[in-house]
Structure 1
Amino acid sequence: MSDVIEPTPAYLPAPAPRDRTAPRAPVDPLWRSVLGMFLRRHRLEQGLTLAQVARTSGVSTQYLSEIERGVKDPSSEIIAAVVGALGLNLLDLTAGTTGVLRDAAPAARAAPGGPVCLAGPVALAV
């Protein structure tokens, strides 16, 4: 057997090099990152340590730290326990994370950029 790597056959197009200077489309933040920011902000506002919230919620300090850093996707039970340990409820969590997501929403979604279908005598606005 030969250890020679065969070149890409001529019938397969070579991948186009990626232009690293081209701007990328804005991307929504991950839910776990938004959740982590929300939990950390409220924990710090209350002057609580990771260990205190972990003990109250029944979650390990390491796991709580990973949640706050947006590394882990916790289950709804874990989220409820941590939110409860902070003296908050699901409505507080939902309202708080909605605000973060709204502020971080890509500007491209704010206004449509193309033909818009309208009801009534005007069919298209360009």
Structure 2
Amino acid sequence: MGEILRFPGQQPHRAPEAPEPLWRELVGREIHRERLQRGERLLDVAQRAGVSVQYLSEVERGRKDPSSEMLQAISGALDLGVGELATRAARPQALALAA
């Protein structure tokens, strides 16, 4: 293969930094952490929130981007307000764990 030639003044390519986590991943991790801390099963929380176990599992894994109504139902099932959930998900510790 040939040699890569750079334009004059062009900086060498640096390895990309890890991408910032998506909001749904941060929220999902926090929901998962809270559920485990409370010692509850997916089924328990899903039933109280009025969602399927599969849906709650996908939210916890950051695969689903829940609507504000779904977040309210899920956080309410964990005795949290949506604001509290958002605050916890945005705290520096949550961001560090996601990296």
Asked if these proteins are the same fold (TM beyond 0.5), I'd say: yes
Partner residue in 2 for 1:66: 58
Deviation string 1:60-97 (CA, Å, 9 cap, x unpaired) is 00000000011111111001000000011123112201
Query: 2-side partners of 1:67 and 1:104: how far apart?
Result: 17
> Could you list the runs of 4 or more consecutive aligned residues of structure 1 that deviate by over 3 angstroms after TM superposition?
103-106
Contact 2:46-2:53 within 8 A present in 1 as well: yes
Contact 1:28-1:104 within 8 A present in 2 as well: no
Query: 1-side partners of 2:42 and 2:97: how far apart?
Result: 26
Could you tell me how far 1:26 is from its partner in structure 2? 3.4
Contact 2:71-2:82 within 8 A present in 1 as well: no
1:25 paired with 2:17, answer yes
Q: Which runs of 5+ in 2 are unaligned?
A: 5-13
SS of residue paired to 2:62: coil
Query: 1-side partners of 2:26 and 2:98: how far apart?
Result: 12
Structure label with greater radius of gyration: 1
SS of residue paired to 2:51: coil
Q: CA RMSD in A?
A: 2.3
How high is the TM-score relative to the length of structure 2? 0.77
Q: Relative contact order (alpha carbons < 8 A, sep ≥ 6): 1 or 2 greater?
A: 2
Query: 2-side partners of 1:105 and 1:52: how far apart?
Result: 26
How many residue pairs end up in the alignment? 86
Which residues of 2 match residues 35-46 of structure 1 at below 5 A? 35-46=27-38
Q: Which runs of 5+ in 1 are unaligned?
A: 1-15, 17-21, 107-126
Q: Identity of aligned pairs, percent?
A: 44
Partner residue in 2 for 1:51: 43
